[in-house]
Amino acid sequence: MRILDKYLYKELFATFFAVLSVLLLITFGTEATKLLAVAVEGTIPSSIIFKVLLYKIPPALEVILPLVALLSVMLAVGRLYQDQEMVVLQSCGIPTRYFQKRVFWFLLPLALLTAWITLWVTPWSYQQERHLVAEAQVTSPLAALVPGKFNPLPNGEGVFYTRTIDDDGDLLSVWLRLKTDEQDVLMTAPQGRFEWIDGKLALVLLNGHSYEGLDKGDAFTAREFRRFEGFLPEIQVTPPSQKKFEIASMQLWQSDNLDYQALFQWRLVTPFSILVLGLLGLKMSRSGPREGRFGKVFFALVLYVVYNQLLVTFKEAIANESLPTTIGLWPVPVLFLAYALYQGSLKPSWFEWPDVGRWFKKPAESKS
């Protein structure tokens, strides 16, 4: 590897990690604010916020990595133009295709890494996040219960007692008193636990006894049950539903659902976008002596928004059967790639346009 190659790759990687760090901090700040608001509402416990944030890293990388590739290449190579280093390199006979080749080899590992993230890691992270939230919703009522103590239920609707709570969440020696205007029930069971039933979190008691009408003296009723399912008032939460984003890529590929096909093409186009936007950043890095280094950043952000919006539009068109899947999302990155590789003329260097005007010129009259 030549000294120039090492110097160029060093600039590219340094700028890449700097831009990536800034965008990740911005993204996680926004996600942390949303999760804290949800935790305040009581939907999820605050103890799992950090774990949920970790599972949000792959989906965040899927979104920001193409933008990072665009900005990092544009800023790194743009500094060479601003410091007049590019003028010196070009005067030494280094052509533009040299930088295109080096930027391509810089972007290729990033594109492969993005492909691994989008095709495998992101679905897994969505699935793990859903399981984590569901388990936290089951254990959150356990966190509010103090074993060995009578725990009052909200609005004075009864009292709950359990002798111990083991690590698996099983309740031992459960005693429950439910007292409302309609009923007065006392239940005891040697064992119990919390389970999801019909989309609600229920208290399940096993091999216990129930007593109704204790306040009526001798008129009370005693029953024996093998399994009791009841819903306590303070734990009426809804489990998170499965999202299409957590479906495996192979399942999306084999599905006939157009919405799934559009999502699968989105996962394929995202790694290719690293190459497209990176080479586009190389084209936009060219600047004159009086142009600022960050003068084209706004224009780059506009191009990125347009690029993403076109992908979203094509994706919705596939899902709505307005666009065949054989065409898919590929016209958008191909069009931007052609613009990135455009060097001022689409005509090959060996091709010459015929001088059509010469054919219509009148021959000069010879002077006698």
For residue 92, what pLDDT is reported?
83
Return the pLDDT at 268.
93
Indicate the domain borders of the chain: 3-139+242-341, 154-231
Question: pLDDT tens per residue, the chain (368 residues)?
Answer: 578 888 889 999 999 999 999 999 988 888 888 888 777 665 666 777 888 888 999 999 998 999 999 999 999 988 888 777 887 887 887 887 888 888 999 999 999 999 999 999 999 999 888 888 777 766 555 555 667 888 777 666 778 888 887 767 788 888 888 777 667 788 888 888 877 777 677 788 888 888 887 666 566 778 888 888 877 655 444 556 677 888 888 888 888 888 899 999 999 999 999 999 999 999 888 876 666 666 678 888 899 999 999 999 999 999 888 888 888 899 999 999 998 887 655 444 444 555 555 555 555 554 54
- Residue 236: predicted pLDDT: 45
Residue 240 DSSP one-character state: P
C-alpha to C-alpha distance for 211 and 219, rounded to whole angstroms: 10
State how far the Cα of 195 lies from the Cα of 316, in Å rounded to an integer: 38
Beta strands 184-197; 200-212: pairing state? antiparallel
d(Cα 169, Cα 184) in Å, to the nearest integer? 27
What values do phi and psi take at 78, rounded to 5?
-65, -30
Q: CA torsion angle for 292, 25, 37, 200 (degrees, to 10)?
A: 130
What pLDDT, on the 0 to 100 scale, is given for residue 349? Answer: 43
Alpha carbon distance 65, 269 (integer Å): 13
Q: Give the model confidence (pLDDT) of 148-179 as tens digits.
A: 888 777 666 778 888 887 767 788 888 888 77
pTM greater than the 0.85 cutoff: no
